[in-house]
């Protein structure tokens, strides 16, 4: 920000804006905002306080250039600090979402063995009702087919691996936006597959929640370079 400046006690008629200095100052501001749109704009009060702006304290061109550089450095430092704060906030949000997904995976894992056991019991009862006997070979064959259709262990394992990778990328820092965007696609693919294999209301609910959380993460990732 410019140094504090208090105009001398001249009359309002004597205090005229230095249009050349004003134009130069506005050009400097525009240059900064072109490169860094988040940089704050000068206020009217700051412009009027600028040395030499009211024509009663003309600043040499060299000093004016130094002041412009100082203004640029201050704006860049403010922008950098703001980006760091925003990055820390986004990282915290994404890590929280990762934890929510992990909790859903913990809930989903024991569902498959329970579904297979329930299917086996129903199949045994049904065969005994129809045939008057329990054909173990046929039961094993049907169970294998059923288990193959609903087994999502592989998808759950890949999801866990993707979560670990997302966390690693976040902790590494730097320009990670594209990498995180790719990981969001991978997470969504596995969550969608889990939903397509589901024959259980709870697994379907978990799949839907996974996709909602992943979409929330994807929206946040769009703000990361």
Tens-digit pLDDT profile for residues 19-57:
887 888 888 878 877 776 767 777 887 777 777 777 655
Per the model's pLDDT, the better-predicted residue between 51 and 170 turns out to be 170
What is the rounded average pLDDT for all residues in the chain?
77
Hey, is 41 helix, strand or coil? Answer: coil
First vs last C-alpha separation in the chain? 28
Report the pLDDT averaged over residues 136-141: 69
pTM of the full predicted structure? 0.56
Let me know if 120 is exposed, middle or buried by CB neighbors in 10 A (0-12, 13-18, 19+).
middle
Range among 80-89, 143-152, 168-177 rated most confident: 168-177
How many other C-beta atoms can be found within 10 angstroms of the C-beta atom of residue 194? 23
Domain with CATH 1.20.140 in the chain: 86-221
Q: Is pLDDT above 60 for 12?
A: no
Report the pLDDT averaged over residues 115-134: 69
How far is residue 37 from each of residues 88, 106, 145, 167, measured CA to CA in Å?
20, 43, 59, 30
Name the fold adopted by 86-221.
Butyryl-CoA Dehydrogenase, subunit A; domain 3 (1.20.140)
Asked whether 101 and 163 are in contact (CB, 8 A), the reply is yes
Per the model's pLDDT, the better-predicted residue between 119 and 58 turns out to be 119
pLDDT, residue 195, reads: 86
Q: Is pLDDT above 90 for 63?
A: no
């Amino acid at each position: 920000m410019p140094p504090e400046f208090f105009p001398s006690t001249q009359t309002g008629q004597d205090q005229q804006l230095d249009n050349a200095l004003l134009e130069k100052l506005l050009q400097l501001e525009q240059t900064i905002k072109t490169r860094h749109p988040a940089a704050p704009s000068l206020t009217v009060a700051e412009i009027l306080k600028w040395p030499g702006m009211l024509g009663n304290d003309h600043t040499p061109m060299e000093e004016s250039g130094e002041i412009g550089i100082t203004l640029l450095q201050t704006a860049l430092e403010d922008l950098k600090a703001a980006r760091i704060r925003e990055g820390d906030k986004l990282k915290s949000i994404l890590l929280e979402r990762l934890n929510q997904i992990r909790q859903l995976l913990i809930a989903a894992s024991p569902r498959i063995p329970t579904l297979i056991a329930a299917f086996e019991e129903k199949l045994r009862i049904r065969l005994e009702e129809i045939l008057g006997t329990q054909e173990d070979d046929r039961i094993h064959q049907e169970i294998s087919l059923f288990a193959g259709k609903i087994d999502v262990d592989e998808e759950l394992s890949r999801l866990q691996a993707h979560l670990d990778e997302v966390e690693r990328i976040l902790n590494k820092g730097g320009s990670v936006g594209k990498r995180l965007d790719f990981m969001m696609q991978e997470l969504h693919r596995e969550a969608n597959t889990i939903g397509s294999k589901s024959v259980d209301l709870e697994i379907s609910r978990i799949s839907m929640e996974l996709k909602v959380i992943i979409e929330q993460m994807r929206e946040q990732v769009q703000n990361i370079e």
